[in-house]
């Protein structure tokens, strides 16, 4: 009797004690992305969100970043696209701004200069950390290695003009 009492509820934590088996490598990327999605959904970070594209391809995501307050980008939202390689997370995703943005580290076609998306990438990063990095990049651009030299210059010299340029450049894109 005692055993039954004990074992029935005991079976619940069993799943938690168990060894987790490694998944088939070819499935890794999709599995990992699914897990990341679940994490994003269960513990969303403020100001950023991401979701696989509507065509159901897990390797292509869209993301949204809200411009942090106290930066020229406050109250703006930016859309980004993520392309994941099949060996993700061992290689970084390709991230582009879809929304036109005026920023020292982003060029006019939306390409981003960010070390963790290049050589500093490790599998420990995930979508959320990338998005948070990008978000913080909005407030603290790395002016040492600009893609947009003018923006880098204006950031320090003329914040008002910079803000104007940001607002000029920004344009909400609709999906449909």
- CB environment 137-148: b (16+ within 10 A), e (fewer): bbeebeeeebbb
Burial of 64 (0-12, 13-18, 19+ CB in 10 A): middle
| Contact of 60 with 84, CB cutoff 8 Å | yes
Nearer to another protein by Cβ, of 7 and 136: the residue is 7
Place of tokens 């987790």: 20
Q: Rounded to the nearest whole angstrom, what is the least distance from the CB of residue 151 to another protein in the complex?
A: 26
List strand residue ranges (DSSP E) for 27-88, in order.
Answer: 48-52, 60-66, 77-83
Which of 24, 42, 119, 124 lies at the binding interface for another protein (CB under 8 A)?
A: 42
Which of 23, 24, 26, 41 lies at the binding interface for another protein (CB under 8 A)?
A: 41
Q: Rounded to whole angstroms, how far apart are CA atoms 149 and 164?
A: 16
19 binds another protein (CB under 8 A): yes
Nearer to another protein by Cβ, of 20 and 157: the residue is 20
Question: Which residues between 134 and 163 bind another protein (CB under 8 A)?
Answer: none
Residues recognised as catalytic: 113
Question: Which residues between 43 and 102 bind another protein (CB under 8 A)?
Answer: 44, 49-54, 56, 58, 61-64, 79
Which of 26, 34, 86, 136 lies at the binding interface for another protein (CB under 8 A)?
A: 34
Which residues make up the interface to another protein (CB under 8 A)?
1-20, 31, 34-35, 37-38, 40-42, 44, 49-54, 56, 58, 61-64, 79, 174-176
């Amino acid at each position: 009797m005692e055993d039954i009492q004990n074992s029935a509820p005991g079976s619940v934590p069993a799943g938690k004690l168990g060894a987790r088996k490694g998944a088939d490598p070819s499935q890794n990327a999709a599995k990992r992305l699914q897990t990341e999605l679940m994490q994003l959904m269960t513990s969303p970070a403020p100001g950023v969100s991401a979701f696989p594209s509507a065509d159901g391809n897990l390797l292509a995501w869209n993301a949204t970043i809200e411009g942090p307050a106290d930066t020229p980008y406050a109250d703006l939202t930016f859309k980004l696209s993520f392309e994941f390689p099949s060996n993700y997370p061992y290689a970084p995703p390709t991230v582009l701004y879809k929304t036109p943005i005026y920023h020292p580290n982003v060029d006019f076609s939306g390409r981003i200069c960010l070390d963790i998306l290049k050589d500093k990438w490790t599998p420990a990063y995930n979508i959320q950390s990338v998005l948070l990095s990008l978000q913080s990049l909005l407030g603290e651009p790395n002016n040492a290695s600009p893609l947009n030299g003018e923006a880098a210059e204006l950031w320090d010299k003329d914040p008002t003009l910079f803000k104007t340029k940001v607002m000029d450049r920004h344009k909400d894109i609709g999906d449909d």
